[in-house]
């Protein structure tokens, strides 16, 4: 029996266009069957969207898990339609003053749900959001109430791409309304390629107006290296591991002395699972930007469950692997450039002679580079190779600069600017192009920000980052010599491509863009915590307005500039500074009492 008309009739008066879209859709997207318990359940493309045993019980369990997250006054936005058992369960536990909305990517699925079973009175109390992802995001972004995104995984995976587009558009819409400032602790690695990324992140966060505590573990590099000089490798590994453990404890202590709103670790930060579990126990919010190839560096598997949020530079299988390993939330966040560092330079003739060439490559001597770069040497053009780890590469010795010494960022930028063509060959372990060519490396963005022309190997994630008119790519080893000849003979076209790439980076791919997206993404998932801070809910002006019914408290808050973030300790400090020699009011005494309690319970180590 079909219940579709009966169920949708109540919606016809409020959302007639939506009802019409559902009724006119084809339906039959879901395959219905009876569960063991007896109620109807469904599959889509062979996968269950609800329990095959007891879909109502499963939905209730899921809804109960959301109860502790969904706060009063928030608009709960459900991703994943299915047969709406989970939505019905949410409606039953909806917090006071909250509303519930469901995103409908495909009216056919909604038609199947409305046809499968009779819905109760809750059905007309739900807000149904349908249409293009951008339009839904704009509608949600216009709400004055905080949003709480509630994803029901089994049904949401049917429209994963749509939901990704929606969340990206929602982040953009929400970020435009941000005025608040956070305190972010950035935890860097001891050494490695992610160390400069950590520094760029610090600079970007500060440029966005946030307060940053930079926990720089690179100052311990010499000690780490010294512990690696034992004759037996296992002794070195043990001692270096112990140092990493000490640095993790040091991080806990630093955080306890000045608690941040968010702990942002960059790949290879020395935080163990035990440290992360301790931070979660003490209510710290943690995130990791894993700016590594997840296939090559696999330590993330042991840490997946430790961070509240993961951000990675790969998609598809990477996101699935992190989820399977226990990651609570994982999202794509590509690399970027820092325009203050990666920029066009006015080089002298001497510098152009020292650093320039028809073709240059900057990077470490990974196996595929050792195998491929010799094939691109030619008498037709000058070639210079910069970087370290090229020992034993005899066929590249004639073009290797500075005997294979590591070069600093300043030198690297001069090479980028002085070279007619910069080769950008992503690393891999074999002797060919990367067979799993997905992530786009930092060099791509840095070259583009310099206004430097580059030839890069093709990557599956390129299309969303750069067009063919911004970065020229090659898909086979044999194409490279022909491309070099073509572009060496077209300096005006090279310049046009490089300038287009630079415009794209400045508009979309700086570290400020990435940090804003990272914070907004967490804010959308944490509307009562990070989201509230980003909205400016703790700014003095906002707090004073909310405290209007308590004149003395409002007066205390108005002593601060309206846009300044104010914490309990700030108000207490103001009272102590001005309260000497006078009788304190009741509200002032309460503030001091609460601040004393906060100070006594602050010890987190």
Cβ proximity of 235 and 257 under 8 Å? no
pLDDT > 60? residue 487: yes
- The top-scoring range by mean pLDDT among 1-5, 142-146, 283-287, 547-551 is 283-287
3-state secondary structure of 403: helix
3-state secondary structure of 147: strand
Is the domain covering 349-509 a CATH 3.40.50.2000 domain?
Answer: yes
Q: Cα–Cα distances in Å, from 577 out to 287, 498, 568, 573, 587? A: 37, 57, 14, 6, 16
Q: Which residues, other chains included, contact 491 with Cβ-Cβ below 8 Å and sequence gap of 6+? A: 420
Taking the model in full, what pTM does it have? Answer: 0.83
The pLDDT of 186-192, averaged and rounded, is 96
Q: Which fold has domain 4-175?
A: Rossmann fold (3.40.50)
Q: Which residues, other chains included, contact 302 with Cβ-Cβ below 8 Å and sequence gap of 6+? A: 273
Q: Which of 412, 443, 411 is nearest to 427 (CA)?
A: 443
Cβ proximity of 218 and 195 under 8 Å? yes
Mean predicted lDDT score pLDDT of the chain: 92
Q: Do domains 4-175 and 183-336+512-521 have the same CATH topology?
A: yes
Tell me the two tokens of residue 285: 């919010």
pLDDT in tens, 221-265: 999 999 999 999 999 999 999 999 999 999 999 999 999 999 999
Cβ proximity of 148 and 74 under 8 Å? yes
pLDDT in tens, 73-100: 899 999 999 999 999 999 999 999 899 9
Helical H segments across 295-375, by residue range = 300-303, 317-324, 349-355, 367-372
Tell me the two tokens of residue 570: 């700030």
Q: Which fold has domain 183-336+512-521?
A: Rossmann fold (3.40.50)
Of the pLDDT bands very low, low, confident and very high (cuts 50, 70, 90), residue 595 is confident
Q: What is the pLDDT of residue 543?
A: 83
Cβ proximity of 501 and 466 under 8 Å? yes
Tell me the two tokens of residue 399: 């073009």
pLDDT in tens, 35-59: 999 999 999 989 999 999 999 999 9
3-state secondary structure of 540: helix
Domain boundaries, the chain: 4-175, 183-336+512-521, 349-509, 538-600
What phi, psi does 326 have (nearest 5°)?
Answer: 115, 5
Q: What is the pLDDT of residue 1?
A: 52
Q: In this prediction, what percent of the chain has a pLDDT beyond 90? A: 77
């Amino acid at each position: 029996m079909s219940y579709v008309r009966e169920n949708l009739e109540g919606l016809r008066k409020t959302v007639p266009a939506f009802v019409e879209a559902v009724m006119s859709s084809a339906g039959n997207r879901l395959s219905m069957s009876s569960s063991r318990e007896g109620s109807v359940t469904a599959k889509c493309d062979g996968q269950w969207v609800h329990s095959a045993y007891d879909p109502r019980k499963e939905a209730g369990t899921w809804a109960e898990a959301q109860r502790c997250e969904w706060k009063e006054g928030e608009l709960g936005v459900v991703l994943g339609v299915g047969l709406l058992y989970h939505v019905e369960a949410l409606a039953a536990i909806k917090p006071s003053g909250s509303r519930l909305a469901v995103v409908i990517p495909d009216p056919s699925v909604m038609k199947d749900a409305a046809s499968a079973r009779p819905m109760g009175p809750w059905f007309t109390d739900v807000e149904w959001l349908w249409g293009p992802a951008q339009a839904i995001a704009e509608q949600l972004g216009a709400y004055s109430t905080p949003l709480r995104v509630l994803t029901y995984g089994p049904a949401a995976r049917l429209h994963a791409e749509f939901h990704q587009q929606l969340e990206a558009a929602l982040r953009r819409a929400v970020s435009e309304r941000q005025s608040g400032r956070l305190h972010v602790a950035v935890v860097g690695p001891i050494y490695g390629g992610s160390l400069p990324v950590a520094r760029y992140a610090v600079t970007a966060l500060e440029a966005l107006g946030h307060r940053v505590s930079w926990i720089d573990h690179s100052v311990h590099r010499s000690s780490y290296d010294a512990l690696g000089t034992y004759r037996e490798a296992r002794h070195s590994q043990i001692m270096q591991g112990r140092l990493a453990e000490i640095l993790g404890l040091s991080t806990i202590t630093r955080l306890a002395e000045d608690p941040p709103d968010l702990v942002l670790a960059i790949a290879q930060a020395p935080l163990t699972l035990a440290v992360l579990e301790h931070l979660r126990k003490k209510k710290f919010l943690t995130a990791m930007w894993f700016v590594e190839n997840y296939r090559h560096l696999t330590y993330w598997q042991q840490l997946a469950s430790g961070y509240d949020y993961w951000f990675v530079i790969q998609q598809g299988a990477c996101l699935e692997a992190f989820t399977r390993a226990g990651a609570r939330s994982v999202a794509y966040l590509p690399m970027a450039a820092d325009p203050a560092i990666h920029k066009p330079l006015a080089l002298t003739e001497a510098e152009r002679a020292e650093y320039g060439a028809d073709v240059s490559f900057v990077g470490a001597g990974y196996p595929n580079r050792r195998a491929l770069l010799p094939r691109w040497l030619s008498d037709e053009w000058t070639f210079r190779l910069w970087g370290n780890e090229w020992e034993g590469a005899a066929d590249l010795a004639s073009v290797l600069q500075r005997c294979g010494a590591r070069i600093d960022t300043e030198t690297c930028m001069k090479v980028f600017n002085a070279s007619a063509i910069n080769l950008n060959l992503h690393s891999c372990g074999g002797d060919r192009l990367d067979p799993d060519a997905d992530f786009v490396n930092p060099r791509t963005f840095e070259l583009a920000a310099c206004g430097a022309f580059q030839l890069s190997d093709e990557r599956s994630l390129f299309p969303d980052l750069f067009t063919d008119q911004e970065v020229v790519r090659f898909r086979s080893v044999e194409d490279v010599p022909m491309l070099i000849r073509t572009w060496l003979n077209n300096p005006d076209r090279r310049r046009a491509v490089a300038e287009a790439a630079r415009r794209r980076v400045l508009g979309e791919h700086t570290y400020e863009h990435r940090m804003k997206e990272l914070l907004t993404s967490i804010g959308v998932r944490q509307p009562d915590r990070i989201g509230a801070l980003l909205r400016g809910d703790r700014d003095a002006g906002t707090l004073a307005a909310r405290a209007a019914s308590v004149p003395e408290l409002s007066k205390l808050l108005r002593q601060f500039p309206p846009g300044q973030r104010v914490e309990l300790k700030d108000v207490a400090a103001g009272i102590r500074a001005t309260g000497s020699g006078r009788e304190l009011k009741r509200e002032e005494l309460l503030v001091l009492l609460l601040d004393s309690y906060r100070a006594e319970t602050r010890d987190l180590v």
